[in-house]
A and B are shown apart, each in its own frame.
Chain A
Amino acid sequence: MADAVLVTGMATQWRVAKWRPRRTTLLAFAMLSPSLLFLALFTYWPVVEVAWQALHNQQKIGGPQVYVGLDNFLKLFGDAAFRKALANNLVYAFGTVVPSLVLALGFAMALAKSNRVNTLLRALFFLPVLIPLVAAASIFLFLFLPNVGLLDYHLAKLALSGPNWLGDPDVALYSIMGLTIWKNAGYYMLFFLAGLQAVPADAYEAAILDGAGPWQRLRYITLPYLKPTIGFVLVIGLLNVVTQVDHVFVLTKGGPSDSTNLLLFYVYQQAVESYDAGRAAAGTLVMLALLLAITASSLRTLERSFGEREA
């Protein structure tokens, strides 16, 4: 109801001031046109092409692409490897986003006060963010190397032998998750540091006067104030787990036995290794839908929490 009122209100305004909004709209579009052009060329048009490809595939080997309806999607969901990649991605998402968020919040709270030591520590925790994911994965390749790698080298000093970090199907995904957490925690810390600046000092003072312990202060003051930040970081984190697979490519290529295969890497395999453009496109659309759903729901939560603070 409120929306409808708003719309009619705007519409009347539109009619009254006939020329002004149109000029500003024109100006807005003129200023947006360069990015719109590139978005259209490199984002929207490819999306259209992917959507077309998802409904087409080769029927005859070496033949042209023909319309196959939803066949690609049926085959996609029928593929055990796809379901495995989907399941892996869920474990991966949950197992990396939550720990990185908790770590990032911990770092940010510990280093919130600005002094020389904290500045140095912040820089140190932020360092992994500066390393490209491919480079980071190449470094971790040496850390994870069985017997001679850094991890096993130190374990050997304790007379322990580590697992086959990247070669054991039960362990490999967790090794990769370790890398992701290491890489992202510092990045998210940055947002929390900014978020913590917005928590008013008097709120803490009042809480201390009321006799609130550190846990209660975290629960009833810090976290509520940080809600928008958490929402934002959650979106970024979830987008990251779907769109970044460079380390999978470098470290395991999805193996052993598909145990580290993630959605995007699966799509890559379909497109490049299996040369099945139709199924790859179907997979891409499923991913796209997933990303849109995540973003839309998170953004709504985000807006709601902003709204709460205004109120």
Chain B
Amino acid sequence: MTTTRRSVLAGAAFAASFALSPAFAQAPTEIELFFPVPVDGQLARDMATMIKEFNETHPAIKATPVYTGSYDETLIKTRAAMKAGKPPAAAIMSANFLLDLKIEGEIQKLDDLVKADGKSNDEFMGQFFPALYGNAVIDRSVYGVPFHNSTPLLYINAEHFKEAGLDPENPPKTWEEFAEAAKKLTKREGDRVTRWGVMAPSNYDTGGWLLQALTYSNGGRWFNLDYAGEVYYDAPSTLGALTFWSDLVTKQKAHPPGVQAGGAVSAAFLSGQTSMMLQSTGSLTYIRSNAKFPYKVAFVPKNVRNQVPIGGASLVIPTGVEEARKKAAWTLITWMTAPEKSGWWSRATGYFAPNMKAYDLPDMKAFMAKNPDAQVAVDQLAFAKPWFATYKTVPVRKAIEDELQAVLSGKKSPKEALVAAQKTADEVMRPYVEQTALKLPTN
């Protein structure tokens, strides 16, 4: 509805600008930016502030921020707007949707715009953390510009650590130490658990991301970075990761059974119902402003190596945005992702700034000195790799999340779960595989 009304308004404004064109020969190029707010309402106001500043400094362009709900809803609304022939000039998209959008031909290559600025793709992407390339550059072409990003982190309650005789300055680094600490931190009254050692969200979206993090930490690859039709669900590294998570529930009995939703996990951590949690860096600001106890953050513990996937969102230009608006959108995008704005947005939201140069600015240095936990998140970036993205990312991800949830509820063994997940995922990706890797000469 909002989209329709807005398009009507935009249409009216467009018509009006024609009528008035003799008077205002230099009417500003009107562009819309679709943006999601994955966390809370404050971000919507921050975005309005940012765009207002852009409009004041760029009189030739009039950008309008359009709040479009969550990441998923932003995707829906962008697609709806495109179908109606009124695509927004730019949109902030969940970074792992870019591959899907590219395959369906719904977003544009930005190479010519990069070139017009006198840069090569490598030079342009070079300003961002290398971990972010994989979800923005597809087939050597730039399709998205990283805007705000995250990684999973280990959060610990320092008070509980002391109480259990553990050193809060030394959070668990390996799975061995992790499981040991989780066991020690769990408290029971008879059969009833009054405090869990660890919790990790296993709801749709987050569950797959965290299992990917554990698989990465176990030396795995999870998906084929270079080909959209392959995932490695039924693989030893994934089996180890899923079994580890499942063992925390059944063996160490330090993690509650069944599915835990992301919000419930943060709430449990804040109320002292769990001593540790695996959660996004995106929750850092929320935890920082609400925790009534000393907490620490650390890298996700490893079994084989330190490695986590990124999360977050990129700026894209949908297909069908024509020359003047496309250029205006590019001006907005490069302005929003330059070091200064990147850092400002990072401090306002808790996401890290994708632009590495943002961390050289004095404002950012002062902020990092005051909040050493934010520094841990940035340090872990050195060990970060791309987020899971395939043909039809969401159903392929759901294939393993359904199985993860069955395992955590004690309905399936990890091995049979992974075999089933692999089968479902292969089925979803089959059309793509048949039209690409298995499309062979017929004679």
Contact = CB atoms under 8 A, between A and B. Distances in A.
Interface of A: 60-62, 141, 145-148, 156, 159-161, 163-164, 166-170, 253-258, 269, 272-275
B409 A147 contact: no
14 contacts: A61-B432, A61-B435, A145-B267, A148-B267, A169-B258, A256-B202, A256-B259, A256-B402, A256-B405, A257-B403, A257-B411, A269-B395, A272-B75, A273-B72
A166 B261 contact: yes
Contacts of B391: 61
Interface residues of B, number: 45
Given A169-B405, A255-B405, A273-B394, A62 B103 contact: yes
B409 A62 contact: no
A161 B431 contact: no
A82 to B, nearest CB: 13
Contact of B401 (A160, A163, A255): A255
B192 A148 contact: no
Given A61-B432, A161-B193, A256 B403 contact: no
Contact of A253 (B100, B191, B203): B203
Nearest to B401: A255
A277 B10 CA distance: 28
A272 B259 contact: no
B104 A62 contact: yes
Given A148-B268, A148-B273, A161-B193, A253 B204 contact: yes
Given A146-B256, A169-B405, A257-B406, A62 B264 contact: no
Contacts of B256: 146-147, 164, 167
B204 A255 contact: yes
Nearest to B411: A169
A256 B403 CA distance: 9
A258 B424 CA distance: 14
Contacts of A161: 191-193
A274 B395 contact: yes
A256 B273 contact: no
Given A159-B189, A255-B402, A164 B259 contact: yes
Given A145-B264, A147-B268, A147-B273, A168 B189 contact: no
A133 B252 CA distance: 39
B405 A257 contact: yes
B271 interface: yes
A19 B264 CA distance: 70
Contacts of A254: 204
Given A148-B271, A168-B409, A255-B405, A62 B105 contact: yes
B192 A159 contact: yes
Given A167-B261, A255-B203, A257-B402, A272 B72 contact: yes
B257 interface: yes
B20 interface: no
Nearest to B207: A255
Interface in B185-202: 189-193, 196, 202
B431 to A, nearest CB: 6
Contacts of A258: 402
A170 B410 CA distance: 11
Nearest to A253: B204
Interface in B15-72: 72
A160 B14 CA distance: 64
B443 to A, nearest CB: 21
A264 to B, nearest CB: 15
Contacts of B193: 161
Contact of A168 (B75, B258, B264, B394): B258
Nearest to A165: B258
Interface string B164-191: 0000000000000000000000000111
Contacts of B392: 274-275
Contacts of A168: 257-259, 409
Contacts of B202: 167, 256
Contacts of A275: 100, 104, 392
A170 B257 CA distance: 12
Given A146-B268, A169-B406, A274-B394, A256 B104 contact: no
A168 B408 CA distance: 9
Contacts of B361: none
A226 to B, nearest CB: 40
Contacts of A146: 256, 260, 264, 268
Contacts of B403: 257
Contacts of B258: 163-164, 167-169, 256
Nearest to B79: A275
A255 B103 CA distance: 28
- Best-surrounded residue of A156, A167, A275 (most CB of chain B within 10 A): A167
A257 B203 contact: no
A159 B192 CA distance: 8
Contacts of B204: 253-255
A161 B268 CA distance: 15
A97 B76 CA distance: 33
Contacts of B411: 169, 257
A257 B420 CA distance: 12
B259 A167 contact: yes
Contacts of B347: none
Contacts of A253: 203-204
B327 interface: no
Interface in B236-272: 256-261, 263-264, 267-268, 271
B398 interface: yes
Contacts of B264: 145-146, 148
**A-B CB proximity, top 7 nearest:** A164-B258, A167-B259, A167-B258, A256-B405, A273-B394, A256-B259, A168-B258
A160 B189 CA distance: 10
Contacts of B103: 61-62
A255 B192 contact: no
Given A146-B268, A163-B258, A275-B100, 8 more contacts: A61-B435, A62-B104, A164-B257, A169-B406, A255-B259, A256-B258, A256-B405, A257-B403
A161 B196 CA distance: 13
